[in-house]
Amino acid sequence: MGPAGGFEREAIRPHVAGRFADMLRAVVGHPAMLLYLDNAQSFGPRSETGQRLNRGLNENLAREILELHTLGVDGGYGQADIREFAKILTGWSLGGPNRQNPNGQFQFRPRAHEPGAKTLLGHAFVEDGLAEGEAALLMLSRHPATARHIAAKLARHFIADRTPAAAVERLARVFRASDGDLAAVACALVDLPDAWAQPLGKIKSPQDFLVSAWRALGLDGGDVALNQMLLALTALGQAPFAAPSPQGWPDTAEAWASPEAIMRRIEWAQALARRAAADIGDPIALARAALGPVAPGALWHALERAESRAESLALMLAAPAFQRR
């Protein structure tokens, strides 16, 4: 699982139903993020350590926080803001090889921090060490552009690739009014008519597809099942914790619905159906429980005419109705 697994477990999951500001603070201070985006190697040019080592800023973490995690690429910031934010985040690093600061734990290093005041998005931040960065993160978490960016990402993931403008605005309003309460935003998302108007509006990612197939067939878990799932995810192009960039896995149909990708899904569906057929009772009853009214009449006709139980299960798993959510 590596550092990415620990990052998800320690920085993301504990805050999914909490305040976005708390999640952002946990993310930026997590050792995996500080290493992955090189902030542990970022030094204030006028800091004691920076001058002694003749080392300067690394802007990677600052840029990704602004572009991916808060304001979004159209959030109104410029290169000067990235540089000032990078200065604010100097000193956010990892512990050293001693008993007080074990290796791998977050540690603020004041001697690496850029001294003096900084200005980010027109807001002045006085020299205040670690608290300076925490204040900047809080400001970003409450920025209107952040509310719109998070709302758009949630709508894209749960509603449709082309996000309805009214749905995004509704989620952004709840985000702002609740001070980034992600549980409140999730409840607002569930209440949106758009979330239910097109139940088949999204192509399942490989992970969504595999998990839903496993659940639909009622298969057991365990180490063997986990290993099979990991191999299948890799074959379908979504190996766990191996996203191709800091932006993560794509969240639109064009990334997962190429002819080659669909053929791989069909082949996997056939293989899984052959293994599971002996333990399945009535495939049509299972299909009705899994798909209900979203399946077209032609699918039921195909299932009824299938030559074997395995073929019926494979047809259900490979059907367009099962490939969408």
pLDDT in tens, 154-193: 999 999 999 999 999 999 999 999 999 999 999 999 999 9
Residue 159 CA from chain centroid, whole number: 16
pLDDT (average), residues 138-145: 98
pLDDT (average), residues 135-155: 98
pLDDT (average), residues 216-227: 80
pLDDT in tens, 53-90: 999 999 999 999 999 999 999 999 999 999 999 999 99
pLDDT in tens, 260-285: 999 999 999 999 999 999 888 899 99
Domain boundaries, the chain: 2-141, 144-197, 206-323
How high is the pLDDT of residue 32? 93
CA distance 94 to 54: 20
Please tell me the pTM assigned to this model: 0.91
Q: Where are the beta strands (DSSP E) in the chain?
A: 92-94, 106-108, 118-120, 123-125
Q: Is 157 helix (H, G, I), strand (E, B) or coil?
A: helix
Length of the chain counted residue by residue: 325
Strands 92-94 and 106-108: antiparallel
Burial grade of 313 (CB within 10 A; 0-12, 13-18, 19 or more)? buried
pLDDT at 11 over 90: yes
How high is the pLDDT of residue 224? 67
CA distance 262 to 79: 41
Please report, in angstroms and rounded to a whole number, the separation of the first and last CA atoms in the chain: 27
pLDDT at 96 over 90: no
Single-letter amino acid code for the residue at 207: Q
Burial grade of 171 (CB within 10 A; 0-12, 13-18, 19 or more)? buried
pLDDT (average), residues 246-264: 93
Closest CA to 172 of 162, 164, 180: 180
